A and B are shown apart, each in its own frame.
Chain A
Amino acid sequence: MLRRLLLLNGLATLGVVANHSLGWGFTAMFWWTARYQAGSTPNFDQLGTLSYFGLRTIEQLIIFAVPTFLFVSGFFVAAAAGRTQRTISWRVVGVRLLYLLIPYLLWSTLIFAMRFAEGARYTPIQLARILLSGQATEAYYFVPLLCQLYLLAPFLIPPARRRWKLLLAVTAVVQLSVQSLLYLATLGQLPAAPDPLMFLTRTWLFPGHLFFFALGIVAGFHIKELGRLLERVRWPLLATVVLLLPLGVVEWERVLSASGQQWIGQRVTILDSVYAVAFILTLLAFHRVTLPFAEQTETLGTRSYGIYLAHSPVLELTARGIYHGLPWLLAYQALFQPILLVVGLGVPLALMAMASLQRSPTRAYYQYIFG
């Protein structure tokens, strides 16, 4: 079952790169239309087309990605706490944070340099805010989020060991509450909500993701019982995944329509969370089934953090390069998406391979660059 965690991590890595490629796809579809057809922007004529639903379906399929990363991190926290210690040591937490934050700061600095070259200027306070909330680029919210969860880990471990049902119930309620707030806010049903309340719904804050991490910790401590349970419910779990995939697409269209807005950026709904949990547990439940390219995907999983950090600027440069150099391509998602995916995975992997070569001057600093 452990190798299945590596596979899950690899799939999540693929998912994250694909998800951000899709983001550029939607940008091309609605905001960059002037580059390949007449008319002003934004232009939402492509809403409801085959291309649009193609992207939406893939987006829905891979929404398990960040929950998976959090689940696997939670599992590690349980392993690091061990059998005899009361909880995970602060030393382990501290060093984990160090090797998350150093690469994060390096890559954020690179992105700031890109913005600076474009003419953006930030005050020190703005820079600090951006770094604390992972806003250097859209994907980087995950790092402050994961850091918060690691800081919470010593407090989550004792209940995960002895009162895991209560822990899961409480974290589920917290997460569901945040996601409910998001629904209400999106649908305009939250009149004059106090800012502190809406602040909790920020993607980089832990309440909206707490359950996935707690589930990983609980799974780490109770893996035998979990295995027995998953064996019994694996087919209903698989059915849940298959059912929730199209339902998730439909749900988002309903939410978009009911909101009265032309477009809403991606948010993880309650249905998405259930789907993500079902997806993770289904992969674990069927751990004896050999999946195609499993070994390659597992290898990808071992490089997930480096790919996560490097793919964002790579995708941005590629998308913008196509915008300027090959604008006609933006009209063809069937071409645009594979190019982004190949570049978004390939370039980080190539950089990591070069950095780890025996004679590379960066080899000694590999962990500080790619985690």
Chain B
Amino acid sequence: MEVRSSLTDYIERKILKGRAVTLTPELNLLETGILNSLGILQLVSFIEEQFDIAVPAEDVVYENFQSVGTIDAYIREQASQTQQ
């Protein structure tokens, strides 16, 4: 839940910037326009710094960045692979 709350907090503060949107884990970030080209790049930078993982460019795809839930799952998977 820490990953998810960290992600939600970052998206609300830095990307939504006060826009009145309720970020649920299932909300489609791309189809609602929350994440655009720059937002995705910004979010990837945050994820790499905050969670100390590398996000390969080929992993920046719709399936991994569709929602807070899928990003959360991706980060956990990358983190466990890093630990191994």
Contact = CB atoms under 8 A, between A and B. Distances in A.
B33 A95 contact: yes
B57 A96 contact: no
A83 B61 contact: yes
Contacts of A114: none
Contacts of B55: 2
A367 B17 contact: yes
B42 A92 contact: no
Given A6-B45, A366-B19, A95 B32 contact: yes
A175 interface: no
B44 A366 contact: no
Contacts of A235: none
Interface residues of B, number: 25
Main secondary structure of the interface of A (DSSP, over half): helix
B17 A363 contact: yes
A366 B15 CA distance: 10
A366 B18 contact: yes
Contacts of B36: 76, 96, 99, 371
Contacts of B18: 356, 358, 360, 363-364, 366
Contacts of B57: 1-2, 223-224, 227
B61 A366 contact: no
B41 A5 contact: yes
B17 A82 contact: no
A81 interface: yes
Given A83-B61, A95-B32, A366-B19, A3 B45 contact: yes
B37 A367 contact: no
Contact of A82 (B33, B44, B45, B61): B61
Interface string A288-308: 000000000010011011000
Given A1-B57, A223-B58, A363-B18, A91 B41 contact: no
A225 to B, nearest CB: 10
Interface string B21-35: 000000000111100
B72 to A, nearest CB: 17
Interface residues of A, number: 40
B37 A75 contact: yes
A303 to B, nearest CB: 8
B34 to A, nearest CB: 9
B40 interface: yes
Nearest to B44: A2
Contact of B30 (A92, A223, A367): A92
A79 B29 CA distance: 13
Interface of B: 16-20, 30-33, 36-38, 40-42, 44-45, 55, 57-58, 60-63, 65
25 contacts: A1-B57, A2-B41, A2-B44, A72-B37, A72-B38, A75-B37, A76-B37, A76-B40, A79-B40, A79-B61, A81-B61, A81-B62, A82-B62, A92-B31, A95-B30, A95-B31, A99-B33, A223-B58, A301-B38, A304-B38, A358-B18, A363-B17, A363-B18, A366-B19, A367-B19
Interface of A: 1-3, 5-6, 9, 72-73, 75-76, 79-85, 89, 91-92, 95-96, 98-99, 223-224, 227, 298, 301-302, 304-305, 356, 358, 360, 363-364, 366-367, 371
Given A79-B60, A96-B33, A356-B17, 18 more contacts: A6-B41, A72-B38, A73-B37, A76-B40, A81-B61, A82-B62, A82-B63, A83-B61, A83-B62, A84-B63, A95-B30, A99-B36, A223-B57, A301-B41, A302-B38, A304-B38, A356-B18, A371-B36
